[in-house]
Amino acid sequence: MIDSKTQSAISQAFGSVAWSEFRGQARAVVAAGELAAVFEFARDTCGFDLLVDVTCVDYLNYRDAEDRFGLVYLLANTQTNERLTLRTFVNEPDPVVPSAVSFWPGANWMEREVWDMFGIRFEGHPDLRRILMPEEYTAHPLRKDYPMQGRGERHNFPVLHRSEA
């Protein structure tokens, strides 16, 4: 659901953007370095004023995947109802992307959640700390190399009975 004019405007402004489509959803893959410029262009020129979601996928064991982490930005235009999915890929050892908070303040908690769950740093985020996991937690639990039964969790602690307490 994206206008072909919007699509060509983005392509003209950023030559390296790779487009794909699946189930009627247009996706644009952007280099992490260009992300901030694309955000600005999408918001100010194309009118994508609503950031629906920011999330991440860890492609560790995914078939044909070349990069480790794929970030997903779901944008929407509240006037024309266009939707656009922006993708960017980052790799270890230091996965870092520019923060979208200065463009859409709503990105604040979404990016904190991605940092918490995947350990991707958002440069320029005003308050990047864990949001769901405890402060002292060391791992990023939604990474694929983090097991379903995690480390340092409840079952690893000795059981205290009433008589010993």
Backbone angles phi, psi at 18, to 5 degrees: -105, 125
Q: For residue 139, state whether it binds another protein (rule: CB under 8 A).
A: no
Q: How far is the CB of 163 from another protein (least distance, A)?
A: 28
For residues 64 and 164, which CB has a smaller minimum distance to another protein in the complex? 64
Cα distances from 45 to residues 32, 53, 62, 98, in angstroms, run: 20, 20, 35, 19
Q: For residue 46, state whether it binds another protein (rule: CB under 8 A).
A: no
Q: For residue 25, state whether it binds another protein (rule: CB under 8 A).
A: yes
- Which of 8, 40, 109, 123 contacts another protein by CB under 8 A? 109
Q: For residue 132, state whether it binds another protein (rule: CB under 8 A).
A: yes
Q: Which two tokens stand for residue 56?
A: 């991440």
Q: How far is the CB of 160 from another protein (least distance, A)?
A: 21
Cα distances from 161 to residues 11, 155, 164, in angstroms, run: 65, 14, 5
Q: For residue 72, state whether it binds another protein (rule: CB under 8 A).
A: yes
Q: For residue 26, state whether it binds another protein (rule: CB under 8 A).
A: no
Number of residues near another protein (by CB under 8 A): 41
Q: How far is the CB of 161 from another protein (least distance, A)?
A: 25
Backbone angles phi, psi at 52, to 5 degrees: -75, -45
Q: How far is it, in rounded angstroms, from Cα 70 to Cα 67?
A: 7
> Which secondary structure element, helix H or strand E, spans residue 87, and what is its range?
strand 83-90
- Which of 39, 69, 89, 104 contacts another protein by CB under 8 A? 104
